[in-house]
Amino acid sequence: MTEANSDSRDSKQGGGAASDDPTSPNSKYADVQDRESLMDGIQAGRRVVFMAYTLSTIVERQLDFVIAVLLKKYGRTELQTTIYSCLKEIVINATKANAKHVFFEEHKLNVAVPDEYQKGMKMIKEQLGEAWIEKYGSLAKAKGLRVSIEFDHEADGLRIWVFNDTELIPTDESRIREKLAEGMNYEDLLSFYMQMGDQAEGEGMGLVMNLLLLKGENINPALFRVGFADGKTMARIEIPFTDEFVSIRGDNPEGFRDRASIRVEFE
């Protein structure tokens, strides 16, 4: 993805490439669902909430668009690729977790019993692919297991939450802790790739990559958290825009919560 210097590009438009500027009339996002109301809502300082079941192309574009509008509003468009990549990874993790939940249920395997968990995970590893995601993604949807994505923003920074409707099981929790600790150990993406060498298969690398992408933008990786509450799993990224930004883990965790929001639901 390229970072556009959209103003100069817009003015020279003669039916050429669409602009990366989400607010431009010939924006590449022109066909995004609820485009105007999302832009107005964000401009008015509202939170944005998406409800989805899978990461379809439509949802991907919608998320990319919302990030672009937010970053344009706060003058931080250079963060587009990093934030979008991190968000995509955690949304995929969330949909996979929901799908995994129904897989275990369907095979009557209990995640809390180590042998059964191992067996289930082995089966998933063997079957995992587009077809698996599609099958168990739709079963998760039929069960009403959703993924919600929430954006909250102000001049000092941006917060993004991703919730999935399944409880975090201890094995996954320790995997997450392990991955986050691992990510803290590398300086940057390059040193990570050097260490991984040929064994890198893309599996189990998402969270480490997220931390390193954030580090690459001088965003404290400790601002990326995964946790659980009320039967849901949550991943959260906080992106400070100014030194005044207060992390949710800091003094004023409730400050953001009660804003009016715009909601968009996806099938």
Ligand X SMILES: Nc1ncnc2c1ncn2[C@@H]1O[C@H](COP(=O)(O)OP(=O)(O)O)[C@@H](O)[C@H]1O
Does 176 bind ligand X (CB under 6 A)? Our answer is: yes
Query: Which residue has the closest beta carbon to ligand X?
Result: 206
Place of tokens 């949909």: 95
Chosen from ligand X, Mg ion, none, partner binding at 233 (C-beta under 5 to 8 Å by type)? ligand X
In the complex, the smallest distance separating the C-beta of residue 57 from ligand X, rounded to whole angstroms, is: 20
- The minimum distance between CB 172 and Mg ion, in angstroms, equals 11
Q: Which of 115, 126, 203, 254 binds ligand X (CB under 6 A)?
A: 203
93 contributes a contact to Mg ion by CB under 5 A? yes
Contacting range for Mg ion; rule: CB under 5 A; set: 102-110, 144-152, 176-184, 200-208: 200-208
Q: Select the residue interacting with ligand X from 175, 181, 244, 259 (CB under 6 A).
A: 175
CB under 5 to 8 A by kind: which of ligand X, Mg ion, none does 150 bind?
none
**Residue 82 lies near ligand X (rule: CB under 6 A):** no
Q: Report the partner that residue 97 touches, choosing among Mg ion, ligand X, none (CB closer than 5 to 8 A by kind).
A: ligand X
